[in-house]
Amino acid sequence: MTSAASRPVAVALLASVFVVAACGLVYELAAGALASYVLGDSILQFSTIIGSYLFAMGVGSWLSRYFERQLPAHFLRIELLVALVGGALPAMLFIANAWTPDAFRLLLYGLVLLVGTLVGLEIPLVMRILKRDVALKDLVSQVLTFDYLGALAVSVAFPLLLVPHLGLVRTGLLFGFMNAAVALWALWLFRHELRQFGAHALACGLTLAVLAAGFVGADHITTLAEDRFYQDRAVFSEQTPYQRIVVTHGRAGHRLYLNGNLQFAEHDEYRYHEALVHPAMAAHGAPRKVAVLGGGDGMAVREILKYPTVEQVTLVELDPAMTRLFRDHAALAALNGQALRSPKVQVVNTDAFRWLEETREIYDVVVVDFPDPTNFSIGKLYTNSFYALLDRHLAASGYAVVQSTSPLLARQSFWTVVQTIESVGLRTAPYHAHVPSFGEWGFVLAGRRPWRAPPQLPEGLRFLDLAGVAALFDFPRDMARVPAEVNRLSNQVLVNLYEDEWGKAKP
């Protein structure tokens, strides 16, 4: 039974369990998110991070048996260590990726194991402290109830509220501050049991001060790391529920990065977007309805609007922050010629897979401009299931075009995309173009009728002419077709293949 005098202490410690559980899960989620941003393949990274973290928690729980005396003092010290290491984890990983990228993986798993071990010590110590005042049958149920409730609260808040509004660095520091607050609360609750009260109080004060300073300077930390990583000055950055968007500006103009991966560079993006759009649009003859899947920067839409026959363009982009940025940011909107403000353009912010399942519209041309298949959430957009849906919304005389990574550096991946599109009954015409920022880049044109070279192109193109279009479809021996497997939702072979080929291509 819990005595009346000890009841406030028990309630306070149970509330601390809620906070401790929430903080521990935040550090785990932050490590997984950063691992997926930097290392790719979110399923693999989250799986290994969670596995390592849970293993470390088990180690911490086992080690708790060696803490026999002065349990409140040990609990206080552990809370302060968790606050410092866990709270600073995102900031340290951001900085490591910018200055010592080769050491990122080692530091990532080292911090995960350290924080997991410390978090694994927390709950056993709290339970042993509470055991003095709470019956065992009530103790276990109450502690686990508050532990699970804390985990539930933060698992919902992390992607929907915390990361979009605070970013990863500030989110980590905020929850580090909460761990330190638990330590401060423990300092007050057990003030009569602590032998070195002054030293503990000083440690709490210093920890809170460090975390508060980090929280205030979080923007400077992020900017410093990103300027170093991207080489050019970051002029815009935002963490959305879907990705981290960074725009830099330097001698070569603006560059767009999503989760650290370059999407375009201002000085040569026209080569990519002209190659992406015009072989399909010009060959169609008179396209009226066009859909763009991905391509939230509006560059492909800019090229499409050069055709006077176009009456409607539907841009399907998952992240509303992308379309808002390239519609409202003056310098970036100038790059796409204010295309996203055209009355012909309708922007739909949703998942392209779901949109294809729900829409009944038929299009003359569909431009598929997704990021490369670096993880399974993007990889599903390169499967035969997706292309079968795409086929249903393509007019009988229509064409689709798919950006398909590099046929030189990721040759097997490129031809896997071709094989997958053909598996749903579409004819393909693969081609490639040289874009200095990316090197040789590949595209796949698909439709129910054979592709024929267009008789004319719009005026004002900077890269393509009629002779140049025909040359795009010629593949030299080192990029020629190789046998490939169909990429299916059930296996997603393309993601692992892509990661393997690009991993070998990096210096």
Q: Write out the catalytic residue numbers.
A: 369
- On whether the CB atoms of residues 404 and 235 are closer than 8 A, the answer is no
Question: What is the three-state SS of 248-293?
Answer: EEECCEEEEEECCEEEEECCCHHHHHHHHHHHHHHHHCCCCEEEEE
Alpha helical stretches, state H, 315-375 = 320-328, 330-335, 352-358
> Which tokens hold the place of 272?
């990519």
Q: 197-216 and 163-189 helices cross at what angle (nearest 10)? A: 170
> Which tokens hold the place of 324?
């808002």
Distances (CA, A) of 376 to 66, 105, 312, 316, 496: 43, 20, 31, 19, 9
**CA 449/CA 398 separation, integer angstroms:** 8
Tell me how crowded residue 127 is: count the other CB atoms within 10 A of its CB. 19
Alpha helical stretches, state H, 305-402 = 320-328, 330-335, 352-358, 376-379, 384-392
Q: Is the dihedral of CA 387, 393, 397, 400 positive or negative?
A: negative
- On whether the CB atoms of residues 288 and 364 are closer than 8 A, the answer is yes
- On whether the CB atoms of residues 222 and 167 are closer than 8 A, the answer is yes
Nearest CA to 226 out of 242, 241, 210, 244 is that of: 244
Specify the pairing of strand 233-239 against strand 261-265: unpaired
Distances (CA, A) of 401 to 103, 184, 258, 301, 448: 39, 59, 22, 14, 13
Helices (H) and strands (E) in the chain, counts: 18, 11
**CA 499/CA 374 separation, integer angstroms:** 7
**CA 318/CA 74 separation, integer angstroms:** 47
β-pair partners for 290 = 313, 365
